[in-house]
Structure 1
Amino acid sequence: MARSTIYLASPYGFSEQWKRLLLPEFIAALEGLGLEVWEPFVRNGQVDLSQPGWACEVAKRDLQDVRDADALLAIVNGTPPDEGVMVELGAAIALGKPTFLFRDDFRRCTDSEQYPLNLMLFAGLPSEGWQDFFYDSIESLSDPRKALALWAKG
């Protein structure tokens, strides 16, 4: 039986430090749930950045991966969060994919008393119980009572 796939939308591949120190923790936590992780910086590493049009090619491949993945985890740190991650998250929401949000950034970035981020980022989550789809630590990703672990179990 094929493992469920999850697209990891994050800005962490742009920095060698983040790529080396942060991404492996997220990938390991998601793989620990039995998921196949689609990390775009790894999946699109074969793109020749010296060729004209490389950016468009990367964007198209990333969007196709969002379409093809079973779900999406968006790392939404920053004020505001990374623009590319927001596009990937919006596409997943529009496609009706299960979406999960990760934010361990303590700064508020919101126009709502209810949500810690712009309310549109929660459009793919249930209005009641959205907190079960929102994670604030690497450890919480594997919480068996929260939505990601329950979804991963099928």
Structure 2
Amino acid sequence: MNNTARTIYLASPYGFSAQWKRLLLPEFIGALEALGLEVWEPFARNGQVNLAEPGWAYRVAQRDLQDVRDADALFAIVNGTPPDEGVMVELGAAIALGKPTFLFRDDFRRCTDSEQYPLNLMLFAGLPELEWQKYVYSDVSEINDPQKALACWARS
């Protein structure tokens, strides 16, 4: 058995706010690590840049995209109406690359034209048609639910 932990890219807008970074990110990172996953949180991995240096934004975007390519899966926090644009690009890239994707939304507002999905239907393009709900999380405590898709994937 390979002892290398599977990697999961945590796509979220929570690194832009000191309060969110301090209060929200650790809870998600801890829940994902409890599944034995190595969490790639882009603000921690690629946030050490000099914002005064020309071209910093391009380099950060390229590093984040490379991490999406290299990670085994992606966990996207899709709160907001609409959800964060950067998270949507990361999620779209992961779907296009055929990576397993998992969605978190505890925002009660609907953001969709579909009766079936709570968000734009394209965000569900990386999920199976049947039982897609197993890939969607509405509480951090569900991340470790052995019946949900992420825990099953982490064990496989």
Give the TM-score of the pair, scaled to structure 1. 0.99
Matched position secondary structure for 1:65: helix
- Stretches of structure 2 that go unaligned for 5 or more consecutive residues are none
Percent of paired sites with the same residue: 79
The runs of at least 4 consecutive aligned structure 1 residues that moved more than 3 Å come to none
What letter matches 1:77 in structure 2?
N
- Taking only aligned residues, the RMSD between alpha carbons, in angstroms, comes to 0.5
Match of 2:87 in 1: 85
Check whether the contact 2:47–2:60 (CA below 8 A) recurs between aligned residues: no
- Stretches of structure 1 that go unaligned for 5 or more consecutive residues are none
Structure 1 residues 136-151: aligned runs within 5 Å = 136-151=138-153
Summarize deviations over 1:95-128 as a string: whole Å, max 9, x none.
0000000000000001100000000000000010
Structure 1 residues 16-55: aligned runs within 5 Å = 16-55=18-57
Summarize deviations over 1:63-115 as a string: whole Å, max 9, x none.
00000000000000000000000000000000000000000000000110000
Matched position secondary structure for 1:97: coil
Matched position secondary structure for 1:6: strand
For 1:108 and 1:39, the matched residues in 2 are separated by 27
Matched position secondary structure for 1:49: coil
Give the TM-score of the pair, scaled to structure 2. 0.98
Number of equivalent positions: 154
For 2:144 and 2:118, the matched residues in 1 are separated by 21
Query: Displacement, 1:45?
Result: 2.3
Structure 1 residues 70-149: aligned runs within 5 Å = 70-149=72-151
Query: Displacement, 1:50?
Result: 1.4
